Chains A and B, each alone.
Chain A
Amino acid sequence: MPLIDLANPTRFLKLSGLLLPWLAGAATIALAVGLYLAGNAPDDYQQGATVKIMFIHVPSAWLAMAIWGMMSLAALGTLVWRHPLADVAAKAATPIGAAFTLICLLTGSLWGRPMWGTYWVWDARLTSVLILFLMYLGVMALWRSVDDPSRAGRAAAILTLVGAINLPIIKFSVDWWNTLHQPASVVRIAGPAIHPTILVPLLVMALAFVLIFVTLHLAAMRNEILRRRVRTLMMIEAQAAPGRG
């Protein structure tokens, strides 16, 4: 089905309504399997059981970056193709992205306490994730402070695209100021440096997190469409109200 068919919000509501229960079910199953596998994964010989924080921490870090990428695609959809659902998608993704970034920061600091002896270090990677979080909050603040959705949508789209230059900085900051945080060890030219007993649960958890995101995102988009309809209806009603002219 071409993307333009989804431009009709009514058709989108219908299709997403059909998909949502299946997506929610798949997310639940993937999360259950992932948590089971993660629970049975061997402990690290140095870090003990705390290494299991990774199964939450790493997928949320991936999603934190991937959601901004998705928002950038939606921003292109808003600015270039004027797709009517693109700014709905971008707006619905922002708080979810902020939530995953916060999960990443919180689990990271809980993991850092036993490992590094402190909740927070000003390491390059942590700092750039914190900045990503601040940027998510900035976009949310922008959406909240302007009442006209299409005006806010275009401004947020430009800000998102400019912010996308921050994503490569996050990825490469590890190599620039390699300090306390371990360098990237899953996506490497020489292949993963993680043993399969850890890698498989990690990938299942990543799949589960992606499914959770897609489910939440579709639901949030449906809410946003309905919210805009309510807003339009209220404006029509206010205009038609007697005594207002």
Chain B
Amino acid sequence: MSALTAIFMRDLRLAVRVGGGAGIGVLFFLIVVVLAPFAIGPDLALLARIGPAILWLGALLASLLTLDRLIAADAEDGSLDLILTGRTPLELAVAAKALAHWLTTGLPLAIATPLFGLLMNLDMQASFAVALTLLAGTPALTFLGLLGAALAVTLRRGGLLLTVLILPLTVPVLIFGVAASNAAVTGSVPFAMPFTILCALTLASLVIGTFAAAASLRHGME
């Protein structure tokens, strides 16, 4: 088994077993979606109109807030030092960790969205459109958050500071994610235009996030 698969499988196992955080993200997402009508009011027409935006905000917060332990836990138990000194390129190693994290956090969000869309009075087509945009967009959030997780280790700080640093970078993802969802609901602009830009943002953050996170770990750990 190659080193990358080993890291990937280890992170998956750690996430789904007792003590791991898989499932918390979806629970958080559900609570944000449930809280929104209490703040806005039970007006079904209004909820249907802003539903995609609320689903995206909830997913954004859920995938970023679960990230700050992603590398910090490895730094505490010493496995980060092994990854750093190993022959596997650090960029690929952190990418494998991010992928495992996305499979246990981002993917469940996208799968749960059609169900949570019912709470927001979205019709079937709109719910699946939002789920599709989340499927394409949440990896971007994970890879940007990966940088936050790496900075959290090198600065020995976590929580609010990292959220403050990373959230501004997620604005384009949020814009095009919600724009694509709304395009599918209202049909005013073709769905493909914002959706392909969203995919491009995901690919760009895959590169930027992994390289920046690896650079941050290299410079911070010496």
- A-to-B contact residues, CB < 8 Å: 79, 131, 134-135, 137-139, 141-142, 145-146, 151-152, 154-155, 158-159, 161-163, 165-166, 169
Are A154 and B220 closer than 8 Å at their CB atoms?
yes
A169 to chain B, nearest CB (A): 6
Report which of A131, A134, A135, A162 forms a contact with B212, defined as CB distance below 8 A. Answer: A162
B89 CB within 8 Å of chain A: no
B200 to chain A, nearest CB (A): 12
Are B220 and A134 closer than 8 Å at their CB atoms?
no
Interface of A is mostly: helix
Give the chain A neighbours of B165 by CB distance below 8 A. 138-139, 141-142, 159
Are B212 and A154 closer than 8 Å at their CB atoms?
no
Q: Which of B23-31, B101-109, B147-155 interfaces with chain A?
A: B147-155
A-B contact pairs, 22 of them (CB 8 A): A79-B219, A135-B168, A138-B164, A138-B165, A139-B165, A142-B161, A142-B165, A146-B156, A146-B157, A151-B155, A151-B220, A154-B216, A154-B219, A154-B220, A155-B219, A155-B220, A158-B215, A158-B216, A159-B151, A163-B168, A165-B208, A169-B172
Are B212 and A161 closer than 8 Å at their CB atoms?
yes
Query: How many CB-defined contacts (below 8 Å) exist between A and B?
Result: 58
Give the chain B neighbours of A135 by CB distance below 8 A. 168
Give the chain B neighbours of A138 by CB distance below 8 A. 164-165, 168
B48 to chain A, nearest CB (A): 22
Are A162 and B208 closer than 8 Å at their CB atoms?
yes
B124 CB within 8 Å of chain A: no
B6 CB within 8 Å of chain A: no
CB nearest neighbor in B for A131: B168
Give the chain B neighbours of A155 by CB distance below 8 A. 151, 154-155, 216, 219-220
B154 to chain A, nearest CB (A): 6
